[in-house]
Amino acid sequence: MSHPERSTSRGWAARLALPAAVAVAAAALVSPAPAQAKKANVVAEGPCKESPSSTWKLKVQQEENGSLTVIAAVFSDDTDEWRWKLKHNDDVSAKGTVTARDADRSFRISRSMLDFSGPDEITFRAGNKDSDEVCRGDVTFNG
């Protein structure tokens, strides 16, 4: 003997399941993925010349407004004074002198730069005024 209520309730559930699945799939296509909201970062690091223990790090990240934030750091064993320079596409963007004074005897330089169309070549150089120690690194940002 057949139960009409059961077959009707199964048909009703099937009719609702398809539109619900389509709605969920459409929402997934419309919603931005978390990776799209995150801006690109480029990081490079390495040893400094003429020093067995000093290292440098250069980070470039794109900001929401389209500009670039460039962070350069040197980690050294002393509290000497350093001359530093940041170049953007071979043009000097910023330069100065700084003394490594942090607890880890490091210093950090942070600057904002324009994000030009095409690749951005960022170069960082720091030279210890009391020794032959030189830290140099570069990155290409394709934002």
Residues linked to residue 81 through DSSP beta bridges, in sequence order: 99
Residue found by looking up tokens 């009391």 in the block: 130
Please report the pLDDT score of residue 49 as a whole number. 95
Query: Across the chain, which distance is largest between two alpha carbons, in Å?
Result: 99
Backbone angles phi, psi at 88, to 5 degrees: -125, 110
* Residue of 51, 50, 106, 105 whose CA lies nearest to 73: 106
Q: Sign of the CA dihedral 40, 42, 107, 99?
A: negative
Provide the token pair at 2.
């057949």
pTM for this model (two decimals): 0.70
| 91-120 pLDDT, tens digit each | 999 999 999 876 778 899 999 999 988 999
Please report the pLDDT score of residue 38 as a whole number. 39
Please report the pLDDT score of residue 13 as a whole number. 47
Q: How far apart are CA 121 and CA 107, in angstroms?
A: 22
| 9-43 pLDDT, tens digit each | 455 444 444 444 444 444 433 333 333 333 578 99
CATH number for the domain running over 38-141: 2.60.40.10
Q: How far apart are CA 43 and CA 56, in angstroms?
A: 11
Are the C-beta atoms of residues 105 and 79 closer than 8 Å to each other? Answer: yes
Please report the pLDDT score of residue 127 as a whole number. 96
Q: How far apart are CA 130 and CA 125, in angstroms?
A: 16
